[in-house]
Amino acid sequence: MNKPFPLQPLLQALALACLATSVQAQTTDTATPPATPPVADQGDTQTKQLGVVTVHGNSPTSLPTTIPTTIEGIDAATLARTVNATDAEDALKYFPSLLVRKRYIGDYNHAVLSTRASGTGNSARSLVFADGIQLSNLLGNGATFAPRWGLVTPEEIARVDVLYGPFSAGYSGNAVGAVVDYQTRMPQAFEAHGRVATAVQPNRLHGQEETYRATQGSLSVGSRDGALAWWLHGSRSQSHGQPLVFASKLSSTGTAPGAGLPVVTGAVLEKNRSNQDWYLIGSATEYDTTQDHLKAKLAWDFSPTLRLSYVLADWKNRSEGSSRSYLRDAQGKTVDNRYGGDISQGVIIDGRRYTLAASDFSRSRDVLEHRMQALTLKSHTMGFFDYSLAWSQYDYLSDQTRSYAPSSKAQPEAGRLTDQQGTGWKTWSARGVWRPGGAHVLEAGLSREEGRLSTRVDNTADWRSGDAASFASLFAGKTRSDALYLQDSWELGRDWQAVLGLRAEHWQALDGRTEAAYTGTSDKGACNPATQRCVLGHAERSLQALSPKAALSHQLSENWMLKASTGRAVRFPTVSELYQGGFDSKTGGVINNNPDLRPEKGWTTELSAEWGEACSQLRITWFREDTRDALYSLLNVATNASTVQNVDYVRTNGLELSFSTAGGWTERLLKGLGLSGSLTYADSRILASSGYVSVPGDVVGKWQPRVPRWRATLLASWQLSPELSLSYGARYSGRQYSTLDNSDPNGFAYQGASKYFTTDLRVQWRINRQWSLAGGIDNLNNYRYWNFHPYPQRTFHAELKFDL
């Protein structure tokens, strides 16, 4: 173990002294955070050693143990006191530079994490774990590949830590933005917990008024009997979210009215994201969702320093996406694609003719069951050698999406059936830490990650429950990544410490296959009119990469620390980016996927100055990220289809400020008051690109999509008494774009990305030792903002908890 810096005992004592008034347990390496709450494993502590956080305690923790980067955190008690947390991702609400694109309670397919230099369209540029188990869905990169937040519930969280940047050799290049690590609790004695909660969102948009509701209930029970600890958890969430998609018609596409066409009212004339006039004629993707979550955790302590753990979690999701038309005929009857009259030739809106399509009023049904398993063996002697052996597997046991897609009047209920059964991922790892004494702590590890994609689409005569009638398309393939890393934490002297690391990776893409139904008139390329199939197998690929890391910290004075970190990250293409695509049956060519994508390669550097005193911390960080061959969706001019392509060069420069304080001047201002907050500036631009949207060069010099220039958070917590607390938070994000050529200046429109300023309120009352009541309001100021889809408007929360 490294020789402790003399300031360490003082900082530990000061941190424990401010536990009662701490607003946010931010695990910076300038001070030791408050102890974990009573529900967590007792004895967990974090020790500061010259700028490198070393995590250890009486329970095993995820390796690697030295983390040469900025880290922020929150514990369970602070989370319960300050955040209206209905889903696990809500724990990240006030972290510096982070945003989760959560559209409604239980958002399972679009709640993507955005970081300093990555927008909400880049899900593969961050990593999310729970107890070391991968929750990130690295099968793709985009809105539909959100982390599996539903496999962790807020009430089982002991703490959450976020590592910023790709500075640890122990993580893949997907960590270029951030690594989120949820630590869940294991009991020390018998305990039981129950929770019921509700949320209500009155919503008004486009002249439509509706109230949307959600309810949640959970029960947890666990105990410890000698060497065995166990935990069982079950929960159900039911939510009805606001509409997310809107049918539209550009005003300019209207034509001369025809005789006999119905004249309709109700269309809403607004500006689209490009400031063009369009009519909004209806809404869709209004999800009515039910989710069930069951989890079992077992832990066997062979000794006080060796633990074997097993986790089994099952997650079920059933949702129905409905639509509603704004249009009414002269008799007041709703007009949509189910209208009883003749609308095949269109309708008349404000004196002009517009056609209606089945896709204008979409409907869908999802039935999903996913299962996660993990087995880990960890030692934590904190002596000469510690190790960790881990395996995890995530399976799509069933995954069907039914969508309404009639092709003619003869089949008014026809649709598409998309089945992803067999999709999933596996991980294996073996890691070790050597502490030979003296100035060095050495880490090494081997790992393998596998992702498999299996997506089949069939036509069906009954979109609600019909069997597959005819083949439409199929996408399948695998990716595999083997990695070896070495890392040395080296104490150079009393006030200096360096961390040097190297990660070596071997990546493969294999068994790639793309199929589609043949609709052409000639035999071209991979299409065969005789079989009515287009079948293309993709060649196996393999790539290698080396990613060096380095960090240096200097204890400048008793309160000030300086740090410098740099690291290379290589983010390999996901299996979906490679193989999930389609065909042009006229040419036999692939038009949507790209099996020849190059990996993203980038260098990230940050310089930090950190100050810590008693219960107050301050951090100022300059960061820069240079990314070559960034993976983005671009227009393929030859086929007029969007494809995943490499953008040559994206550069981000920025500054991040983070602070927290409890006690001191805040205590003198108002007893029990604590404050925390952050401010981030990012200049993120595309500097070179051989691809383009409309004309060559139209994306060069433009802002990277969904990375705002400014964002900020502020959270105030007031402990009025030991039983009663009040918190008030504010979040701000500046202007941003959704398109690579920044052709969407109007963010306050469907498909746009707007700025926002929202405030949140929460009150917690501990009635007695067993019962507690909490309530709050999210988006108290009812700010209407967008990230392609509309975010929730003002939402009222209430929850009742029982703890035994």
Higher pLDDT, 503 or 634: 503
Residue 3 has, within 13 A of its CA and on its CB side, a CA count of 12
pLDDT tens profile 362-376 = 899 999 999 999 999
Torsion of CA 106, 111, 115, 119, to 10 degrees: -160
What does the alpha-carbon distance between residue 419 and residue 668 come to, in Å, rounded to a whole number? 61
* pLDDT at site 482: 97
Segment 279-307 mean pLDDT: 95
**Rounded to a whole number, what is the largest CA-CA distance in the chain?**
91
What does the alpha-carbon distance between residue 687 and residue 650 come to, in Å, rounded to a whole number? 6
What does the alpha-carbon distance between residue 581 and residue 476 come to, in Å, rounded to a whole number? 10
| Per-residue pLDDT band at 636 (split at 50, 70, 90) | low
Strand pairing of 277-303 and 228-240?
antiparallel
Higher pLDDT, 448 or 47: 448
> Look-up: residue for tokens 């979409």?
362
* pLDDT at site 630: 96
What does the alpha-carbon distance between residue 671 and residue 73 come to, in Å, rounded to a whole number? 24
pLDDT at 143 > cutoff 70 = yes
CA angle 543, 548, 553 (to 5 degrees): 160
Distance of CA 443 to the CA centre of its chain: 29
Residue 253 — φ and ψ, nearest 5°?
Answer: -85, -5
* pLDDT at site 634: 76
Paired tokens of 178: 């951030």
pLDDT at 208 > cutoff 50 = yes
Q: Contact at 8 Å (CB) between 407 and 88?
A: no
Higher pLDDT, 582 or 747: 747
Strand pairing of 589-590 and 600-613?
unpaired
What does the alpha-carbon distance between residue 388 and residue 131 come to, in Å, rounded to a whole number? 12
In the chain, the percentage of residues whose pLDDT exceeds 70 is 87
| Per-residue pLDDT band at 62 (split at 50, 70, 90) | low
- Residue 251, classed as helix, strand or coil, is helix
Residue 357: count of CB within 10 angstroms of its CB: 10
Q: Which residues pair with 731 in a beta bridge?
A: 713, 758
Task: Flag the least confident range among 334-348, 433-447, 583-597.
Answer: 583-597
DSSP assignment of 690-734: S--SSSTTTTTTPBPTT--SEEEEEEEEEE-SSSEEEEEEEEEE-
> Smallest Cα–Cα separation from 218: which of 302, 284, 152?
152
What does the alpha-carbon distance between residue 435 and residue 489 come to, in Å, rounded to a whole number? 10
- Residue 642, classed as helix, strand or coil, is strand
* pLDDT at site 589: 47
| Alpha helical stretches, state H, 190-284 | none
- How much is the pTM? 0.89
Distance of CA 308 to the CA centre of its chain: 29
pLDDT at 49 > cutoff 70 = no
166: preceding bond cis by omega (within 30 degrees): no
Q: Contact at 8 Å (CB) between 488 and 440?
A: yes
What does the alpha-carbon distance between residue 147 and residue 89 come to, in Å, rounded to a whole number? 9
Segment 309-316 mean pLDDT: 95
- Residue 150, classed as helix, strand or coil, is helix
* pLDDT at site 59: 37
Q: Contact at 8 Å (CB) between 32 and 17?
A: no
What does the alpha-carbon distance between residue 525 and residue 527 come to, in Å, rounded to a whole number? 6
- Residue 641 identity (one-letter amino acid): A
Higher pLDDT, 41 or 193: 193
Higher pLDDT, 11 or 580: 580
| Per-residue pLDDT band at 616 (split at 50, 70, 90) | confident
What does the alpha-carbon distance between residue 558 and residue 602 come to, in Å, rounded to a whole number? 35
Residues 627-660: b if buried by 16+ CB within 10 A, e if exposed = bbbbbbbbbbeeeeeebbbbbbbbbbebebebbb
| Per-residue pLDDT band at 132 (split at 50, 70, 90) | confident
Q: Contact at 8 Å (CB) between 426 and 478?
A: no
| Per-residue pLDDT band at 137 (split at 50, 70, 90) | very high
* pLDDT at site 516: 84
Q: Contact at 8 Å (CB) between 480 and 425?
A: no
What does the alpha-carbon distance between residue 503 and residue 306 come to, in Å, rounded to a whole number? 27
Q: Measuring CA to CA, how many Å separate 390 from each of 59, 373, 506?
A: 16, 11, 20
pLDDT tens profile 498-508 = 999 999 999 99
What does the alpha-carbon distance between residue 223 and residue 225 come to, in Å, rounded to a whole number? 7
pLDDT tens profile 174-185 = 999 999 999 998
Strand pairing of 277-303 and 306-325?
antiparallel
pLDDT tens profile 724-765 = 999 999 999 999 999 999 999 999 999 999 999 999 999 999
* pLDDT at site 455: 92
Residue 407: count of CB within 10 angstroms of its CB: 11
Segment 418-433 mean pLDDT: 94
The DSSP secondary-structure symbol of 10 reads: H
- 669 CB-near residues (< 8 Å, 6+ apart): none
What does the alpha-carbon distance between residue 404 and residue 417 come to, in Å, rounded to a whole number? 9
What does the alpha-carbon distance between residue 12 and residue 15 come to, in Å, rounded to a whole number? 5
pLDDT at 223 > cutoff 60 = yes
pLDDT at 584 > cutoff 80 = no
pLDDT tens profile 507-534 = 999 999 988 888 776 556 677 777 788 8
Task: Flag the least confident range among 186-195, 516-525, 556-565.
Answer: 516-525
